[in-house]
Amino acid sequence: MNIYDKTGKMALGSRLRRLGEMFAEQAAQVYPIYGIEMQPKWFPVYYALSDGEEKSITQIAIEIGHSHPSVSTIVKEMMKRDIVVASSAKGDGRKNYVKLTPKGLSINEPIQAQFTDVNAAIENAFAETQYNIWKAIEEWEFLLEQKSLLKRVEVVKKEREGKEVEIIPYQPKYKTAFKKLNEDWITQYFKMEESDYKYLDHPEENILSKGGYIFMAIYKNKPVGTCAIVKMNDDQFELAKMGVAPDAKGKGIGFLLGNACIEKARETGAKKLYLESNTILKPAISLYHKLGFKKITGPPSPYERSNIQMELGL
């Protein structure tokens, strides 16, 4: 069985490489019938120099979209066949300029017939296919320039792992995890304060029994995140004590916890959700904006580390 039947689209790069190698192999057989000494990988460099102009390795690399080392290697191979010649720039021996030799320039005439025939042959092949590979390549190049394969994989990885995260109400057995998840991030950037100990040491008494709620994020049977809403009055809760374990970041856990808190506050009939944070916590601030929070000027904060207040209308 063909390996690509098993691997599917995840081997797209390998399959394109195989197709490219097939084209290069068959293209190499074309040049001799026109009496042209050329290798397919040389062609972009030759074409960039075909007007007889002298160009630097860097210029050629930019023009044909190759790396500088790749162009240097090709130029060395072409020099051995006397197709190009290199010279140092005046006043800068580090910069090499390349141009076609008389032998290289002599290719210009016979290759025109090859251009005509190859283009016609490709057009004939297009007519036999359902999909235009040239336009498909252009489209894929555009898509990958807009958003790389890495970014696309990261998005689906995050979505897949996020589906494996369960957001559940607080249980007494998670008391230690609730404190540690918050204490870890607080001590990483700041220092623990009196209000921290009040809520983290006694969550049942100071959050739950006063009308608040705590949620835990469970991933592979392990608590990896938490967040609470503390009741301020009948119309308003404070989003507080959000923490995610460092090794669980990148799964969208903060967003899931934030949404769970928002939905619970909305369910109780609250009109607003308030929070305090610090602007050095850029990922957290970005998350709050994503959840819909807006910056406000609120009441004095009990936290020394707080330098931004935000609010979300429910």
Beta-strand ranges (E) seen in the chain are 55-56, 84-89, 92-100, 165-169, 213-219, 222-233, 236-244, 272-277, 294-296, 308-313
Say whether both 308 and 164 belong to one domain. Answer: yes
CATH of the domain at 133: 1.10.10.10
Average pLDDT for residues 202-208, to the nearest whole number?
96
Cβ neighbours of residue 313 under 8 Å, at least 6 residues apart?
271, 272
Say whether both 138 and 178 belong to one domain. Answer: no
**If pLDDT is split at 50, 70 and 90, which confidence band does 9 have?**
confident
Characterise 269 by phi-psi region: left (phi > 0), alpha (psi -120 to 50), beta (else).
Answer: left
Say whether both 137 and 233 belong to one domain. Answer: no
Summarised one tens digit per residue, pLDDT across range 121-146 is 999 999 999 988 889 999 999 999 99
Question: Which own/partner contact pairs does 50-59 have at CB distance under 8 Å and 24+ positions apart?
Answer: 50/100, 50/107, 50/108, 52/99, 52/100, 52/105, 53/99, 54/87, 54/97, 54/98, 54/99, 55/97, 55/98, 55/99, 56/89, 56/95, 56/96, 56/97, 56/98, 57/95, 57/96, 57/98, 58/95
Q: Given this model, what pLDDT does residue 89 score?
A: 66
Say whether both 111 and 175 belong to one domain. Answer: no
Cβ neighbours of residue 310 under 8 Å, at least 6 residues apart?
274, 275, 276, 277, 288, 293, 294, 295, 296
Cβ atoms 36, 107 nearer than 8 A: yes
Q: Given this model, what pLDDT does residue 90 score?
A: 61
Q: Which of 152, 181, 204 is the last residue of a domain?
A: 152
Say whether both 148 and 19 belong to one domain. Answer: yes
Summarised one tens digit per residue, pLDDT across range 230-271 is 999 989 999 999 999 999 988 899 999 999 999 999 999 999
Q: Is the pLDDT of residue 94 over 70?
A: no
Say whether both 269 and 143 belong to one domain. Answer: no
Average pLDDT for residues 150-155, to the nearest whole number?
90
Residue 275 lies in domain: 160-313
> How far apart are the C-alpha atoms of 100 and 83, rounded to whole Å?
6
Q: Given this model, what pLDDT does residue 91 score?
A: 57
95 token code pair: 């910069």
Say whether both 8 and 138 belong to one domain. Answer: yes
Per DSSP, 301 falls in state P
CATH of the domain at 263: 3.40.630.30
Say whether both 212 and 100 belong to one domain. Answer: no
Our count of domains for the chain comes to 2
Say whether both 124 and 10 belong to one domain. Answer: yes
Say whether both 175 and 204 belong to one domain. Answer: yes
Cβ atoms 237, 229 nearer than 8 A: yes
Cβ atoms 81, 37 nearer than 8 A: yes
Q: Given this model, what pLDDT does residue 1 score?
A: 46
Q: Is the overall model pTM greater than 0.75, yes or no?
A: no
Q: Is the pLDDT of residue 106 over 70?
A: yes
Say whether both 294 and 180 belong to one domain. Answer: yes
CA distances from 173 to 82, 146, 170, 260 (A): 78, 46, 8, 20
Q: Is the pLDDT of residue 305 over 70?
A: yes
The burial class, CB within 10 Å (0-12 / 13-18 / 19+), for 38 is buried
Q: Is the pLDDT of residue 8 over 80?
A: no
Q: Which of 135, 152, 169 is the last residue of a domain?
A: 152
Say whether both 82 and 205 belong to one domain. Answer: no
Q: Which of 130, 152, 174 is the last residue of a domain?
A: 152
Cβ atoms 241, 228 nearer than 8 A: yes
112 token code pair: 């025109």
Summarised one tens digit per residue, pLDDT across range 36-79 is 999 999 999 999 999 999 999 999 999 999 999 999 999 999 99
* Spatial CA neighbour of 46 closest among 11, 83, 89: 83
**Which string of b and e fits 252-262 if b means at least 16 CB within 10 Å?**
bbbebbbebbb
